[in-house]
């Protein structure tokens, strides 16, 4: 574990001390530190459990953005076989912020689409930090269309700070591209399931997550605006992101209550990045269950149910 979040500093200290002790013991074979190191480990474990037992909404945002959290490509590689990436919007470019293609899930052919953030400086730049341009949404529309034509279920993995705010993106119709992608999500007569694996950033997320079933990882977030953006508009101070995160109700748990999210996928103790494999497996299991839920429905029923679901949204508020 190399990257600690600011609220994990005390934990980093303890884990550091344990590591130091063990390093000393390695250098000096006569030292017996096991008892002490084990005590430190225990303390670290308790502290981790304590920290993650009740994460504040802002801390959840931090965990959701953790650089070592598994990203779209990790899920595709682990959960799908025969993944055949398909590229381009047939109009302008291929957007690397959006991955997509055909693959097998549980031995059944599906179309998978997702935002990829990248895992190091180079790949982050390649994938534009998961911020899609119009071409990304148009590629998604193309893939969803294809899924619809061949009767393949669609799985989307949502992880984006939001659509890219750039000059070219605006000129090429960022808003229209997002609107069309949302529209396509509502039109296709095949099962559409979505998992928010990290950040569900505003319109850029809706464009993929207008699905029959939406699952969210325990510490993922989904919001109309980033806490920083909200703070700078409503508080006139971007440092008030903690308050904004609180007010926006962007956690998976709140969204479950509001009916925006259908299921919360538990994360390993200490967040997805502390046990990537367990997280990916849990997401795979959830996708399997959601697809199975929908497998008996025909195309028309799927479209009608999806529309009904979104039209009814907002009839439930949060308890006071």
Q: How far is the CB of 97 from another protein (least distance, A)?
A: 14
Nearest Cα neighbor of 210 from 243, 190, 184 is 184
Residues that bind another protein (CB under 8 A): 163-167, 169-176, 178-180, 182-183, 185-187, 202-203, 206-207, 210, 222-225, 230, 233-235, 243-244, 247-250, 255, 258, 260, 307, 310-311, 313-318, 320
Q: How far is the CB of 290 from another protein (least distance, A)?
A: 18
Q: How far is the CB of 155 from another protein (least distance, A)?
A: 18
Nearer to another protein, 80 or 137 (CB): 137
Query: What does the H/E/C string look like for the chain?
Result: CCCCCHHHHHHHHHHHHHHHHHHHHHHCCCCCCHHHHHHHHHHHHHHHHHHHHCCCHHHHHHHHCCCCCCCHHHHHHHHCEEEEECCCCCCCCCCCCEEEEEEEECCEEEEEEEECCCCCHHHHHHCHHHCCCHHHHHHHHHHHHHHHHHCCCEEEEEEECCCCCCHHHHHCCHHHHHHHHHHHHHHCCCCEEEEEEEEEEHHHHHHHHCCCEEEEECCCEEECCCHHHHHHHHHCCHHHHHHHHHHHCCEHHHHHHHCCCCEEECCCCCCHHHCHHHHHHHHHHHHHHHHHHHCCCCHHHHHHHHHHHHHHCCCCCCCC
Nearer to another protein, 250 or 282 (CB): 250
Nearer to another protein, 107 or 171 (CB): 171
- In whole angstroms, give the CA distance from residue 289 to residue 139: 27
Nearer to another protein, 252 or 265 (CB): 252
Q: How far is the CB of 141 from another protein (least distance, A)?
A: 13
In sequence order, which residues have a C-beta less than 8 Å from that of residue 106 and are 6 or more positions away?
288, 291
Nearer to another protein, 248 or 294 (CB): 248
Q: How far is the CB of 122 from another protein (least distance, A)?
A: 20
Nearer to another protein, 136 or 284 (CB): 136
Nearer to another protein, 202 or 279 (CB): 202
Q: How far is the CB of 15 from another protein (least distance, A)?
A: 35
Q: How far is the CB of 254 from another protein (least distance, A)?
A: 8
Q: How far is the CB of 107 from another protein (least distance, A)?
A: 31
Q: Phi, psi (5° rounding) for residue 119? A: -120, -10
Q: How far is the CB of 200 from another protein (least distance, A)?
A: 9
- In whole angstroms, give the CA distance from residue 308 to residue 45: 45
Nearer to another protein, 87 or 297 (CB): 297
Most distant pair of Cα atoms in the chain: their distance: 73
Nearer to another protein, 18 or 290 (CB): 290
């Amino acid at each position: 574990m190399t990257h600690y979040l600011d609220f994990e500093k005390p934990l980093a200290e303890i884990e550091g001390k344990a590591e130091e002790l063990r390093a000393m013991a390695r250098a000096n074979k006569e030292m017996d530190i096991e008892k002490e190191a084990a005590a430190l480990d225990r303390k670290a474990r308790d502290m981790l459990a304590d920290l993650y037992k009740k994460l504040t909404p802002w801390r959840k945002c931090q965990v959701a953005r953790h650089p070592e959290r598994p990203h779209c490509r990790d899920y595709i590689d682990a959960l799908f076989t025969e993944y055949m990436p398909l590229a381009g919007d047939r109009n302008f470019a291929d957007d690397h912020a959006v991955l997509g293609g055909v693959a097998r899930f549980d031995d059944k052919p599906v179309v998978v689409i997702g935002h990829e953030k990248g895992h190091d400086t180079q790949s982050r730049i390649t994938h534009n930090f998961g911020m899609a341009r119009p071409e990304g949404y148009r590629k998604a529309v193309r893939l969803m269309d294809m899924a619809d034509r061949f009767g393949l279920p669609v799985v989307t993995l949502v992880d984006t700070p939001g659509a890219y705010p750039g000059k070219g993106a605006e000129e090429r119709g960022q808003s229209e591209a997002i609107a069309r992608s949302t529209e396509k999500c509502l039109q296709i007569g095949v099962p559409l399931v979505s998992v928010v694996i990290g950040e569900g950033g505003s319109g850029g997320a809706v464009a993929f997550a207008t699905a029959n079933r939406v699952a969210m990882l325990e510490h993922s977030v989904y919001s109309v605006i980033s806490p920083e953006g909200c703070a700078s508009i409503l508080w006139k101070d971007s440092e008030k992101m903690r308050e904004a995160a609180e007010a926006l109700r962007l956690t998976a748990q709140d969204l479950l209550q509001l009916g925006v999210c259908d299921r919360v996928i538990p994360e390993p103790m200490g967040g997805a990045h502390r046990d990537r494999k367990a997280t990916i497996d849990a997401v795979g299991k959830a996708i399997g269950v959601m697809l199975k839920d929908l497998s008996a429905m025909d195309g028309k029923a799927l479209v009608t149910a999806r529309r009904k679901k979104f039209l009814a949204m907002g009839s439930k508020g949060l308890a006071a």
